[in-house]
């Protein structure tokens, strides 16, 4: 997987890819339309953040490159790559239990609080791309 040079793009399978963990300086792109929604991405070496219609969707510290991101009411899945292990936060439903899979291996069930944010740690250093799947 490569970084997303255009910061965010549509893929032929209907998903989106975003983020560039190799950028030294902050970059952002606003008002990217996909499937009737407007996305905003901010990304660089130390942080990647995605919003949809002004609402929080994804954030990683340090920055990551994400490909084939898709979400349904029951599941979120994407491939992620970075130079270092990352703390990833995704916006999901509040007060709901989710099971998290990394490279198809369950890392456990987690319950969100009233903010609806789910935090996971992903080992990315020297791992190449890692598949993340979050199911309700």
CA dist 63 and 76 (Å) reads 19
What's the pLDDT at 127? 78
CB-neighbour burial class of residue 115 (10 A; exposed 0-12, middle 13-18, buried 19+): exposed
> Nearest-5° angle of CA 42, CA 92, CA 99?
115
* pTM metric for this prediction: 0.92
| Helix count and strand count (H, E) for the chain | 0, 13
The pLDDT-based confidence of 128 (bands split at 50, 70, 90) is confident
Tell me what pLDDT residue 123 has. Answer: 92
Burial of 104 per CB tally in 10 Å (0-12, 13-18, 19+): exposed
Which pLDDT does position 5 carry in this prediction?
78
Q: Which fold has domain 8-135?
A: Chondroitinase Ac; Chain A, domain 3 (2.60.220)
Q: What does the pLDDT average to over 96-101?
A: 96
């Amino acid at each position: 997987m490569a970084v997303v040079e255009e910061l965010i793009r549509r893929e032929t399978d209907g998903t989106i890819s975003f983020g560039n963990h190799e950028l030294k300086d902050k970059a952002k792109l606003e008002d990217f339309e996909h499937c009737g929604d407007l996305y905003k991405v901010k990304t660089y070496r130390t942080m990647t953040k995605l919003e949809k219609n002004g609402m929080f969707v994804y954030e990683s510290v340090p920055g990551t490159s994400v490909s084939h991101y898709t979400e349904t009411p029951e599941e979120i899945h994407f491939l992620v790559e970075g130079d270092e292990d990352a703390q990833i936060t995704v916006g999901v439903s509040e007060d709901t239990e989710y099971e998290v899979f990394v490279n198809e291996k369950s890392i456990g069930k987690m319950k969100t609080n009233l903010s609806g944010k789910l935090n996971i740690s992903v080992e990315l250093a020297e791992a190449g791309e890692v598949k993340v799947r979050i199911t309700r």
